[in-house]
């Protein structure tokens, strides 16, 4: 009975990842069609897009038939992984700005966050420091 438990949990994980990708994509498409001018909505959609990219790549890795394509999907996953912290900070900055909090240092930290995410993305895509071939 317990020998099938890892297969069941792997299938359950794949189902949950697919649900996250589907609902995340639906939320982004719905919100972008309604309020593209709202900075909070743009920051929220950026965060959800990067989370969806990370989960989509993980789902593709678990369903990959050709082992050579795993490396490409793992490197693609770093697009989401590297940019989620910057998008979270961007969302918190826009939320604080709508409440009236002055963006003194945050004005400079949001682009620095995205720049550091791009640096990590470059390391993941073009070097073996973060992602190594198995």
What confidence tens digit (pLDDT) does each residue in 48-85 have? Answer: 999 999 999 999 998 888 888 888 898 899 999 999 99
Distance, in Å, from the CA atom of 20 to the CA atom of 27, rounded to the nearest integer, reads: 10
Residue 134 lies in a domain: no
pTM over cut 0.85: yes
Cα separations in angstroms, 66 against 52, 83, 119, 127, 132: 23, 27, 29, 22, 17
Task: Please give the tally of structural domains in the chain.
Answer: 1
Residue 133 lies in a domain: no
Paired tokens of 50 = 């990067």
Assess whether pLDDT exceeds 80 at residue 115. Answer: yes
69 in Cβ contact with 49 (< 8 Å): no
Range of the domain at 35: 2-126
Closest CA to 97 of 57, 56, 42, 134: 42
**Alpha helices, DSSP H only, in 35-98?**
39-62, 70-98
Residue 29 lies in a domain: yes
Residue 92 lies in a domain: yes
Paired tokens of 39 = 């900075």
Residue 36 lies in a domain: yes
Residue 59 lies in a domain: yes
Assess whether pLDDT exceeds 80 at residue 132. Answer: no
Residue 90 lies in a domain: yes
DSSP class of residue 125?
H
| Per-residue confidence (pLDDT) for residue 71, from 0 to 100 | 86
Residue 38 lies in a domain: yes
């Amino acid at each position: 009975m317990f020998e099938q438990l890892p297969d069941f949990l792997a299938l359950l994980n794949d189902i949950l990842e697919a649900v996250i990708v589907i609902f995340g994509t639906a939320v982004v498409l719905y919100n972008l069609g309604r309020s593209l001018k709202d900075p909070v909505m743009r920051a929220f959609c950026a965060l959800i897009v990067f989370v969806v990219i990370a989960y989509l790549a993980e789902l593709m890795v678990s369903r990959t038939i050709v082992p050579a394509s795993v490396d490409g999907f793992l490197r693609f996953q770093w697009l989401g992984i590297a940019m989620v912290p910057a998008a979270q900070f961007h969302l918190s900055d826009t939320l604080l700005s709508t409440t009236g909090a002055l963006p003194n240092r945050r004005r400079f930290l949001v682009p620095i966050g995205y720049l550091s995410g791009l640096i990590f993305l470059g390391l993941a895509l073009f070097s073996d420091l973060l992602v190594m071939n198995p």
